[in-house]
Amino acid sequence: MTMNIVVLGPPGVGKGTYSGILSKKYNIPNISVGDLFRNAIKNQTDLGKRIKDYVSSGDLVPDEIVIDLVKTRLEEDDCKNGFLLDGYPRTVPQVEAMMKFKKIDVALNFVAPDAVIMDRLGGRRTCRKCGAIYHLTNVPPTIDGICDNCTGRLVQRADEKPEVIKKRLDVYREKTKPVADYLRKKDLLADIEANYPIEEIDKIIAQCEKYLTLL
């Protein structure tokens, strides 16, 4: 049995964290489109240079670029028994394209108030050297501004500054929320309440498992 799971929700709601936990539990790959973007940017490929301009300003990467990137990734061998796809689809054309090249079993739609999201994203710090992620309140480094793993410098990503976060949320509401509406009409959407602190993350995972056991 395959388990093809789409993970939806606004930036900063915690999709990556929840997907990582579910990936280990069900032994399927956790595919983050954001990571695919960042790897392309880090490697300074032609595609990466194009993506960087969109990501830094908080805009969505054009559909045709994202669709090709995701389709290629889902064709790899580790996805034959399923996957958790975080960060795609983000527009109706993207979800319509996916329905043609890959079946969706369920879309987990994580929701939380804007205030919670602003706090989560605004407090994030990323190591410039190894990419480790910290949070000033929830997961602080031992030494302020220094990565515990490699002693690299911790920085705030351009897309996690307050003015960019606000724009990202506005873009989400305008272009991505219709994806949830589309999937709801297809009876594929499962709303997950993600307004819990990190120490109560089991309550969020339990909601996911309620739907996944029905697959």
Catalytic center residues: 15, 90, 124, 157, 168
- Decide: 214 and 132 in contact? Cβ < 8 Å: no
- Decide: 109 and 192 in contact? Cβ < 8 Å: yes
Tell me the DSSP string of 152-201.
PBEE--GGGSHHHHHHHHHHIIIIIHHHHHHHHHTT-EEEEE--S-GGGH
- Decide: 129 and 202 in contact? Cβ < 8 Å: no
| Residue indicated by tokens 């589309």 | 182
Residue type at 85?
L
| Contacts of 134 by beta carbon, 8 Å cutoff, 6+ apart | 124, 125, 126, 127, 140, 141, 147, 154
| Residue indicated by tokens 């605004």 | 122
Strand order in 124-127's β-sheet? 133-135, 124-127, 154-155
- Decide: 55 and 87 in contact? Cβ < 8 Å: no
- Decide: 36 and 195 in contact? Cβ < 8 Å: no
3-state secondary structure of 155: strand
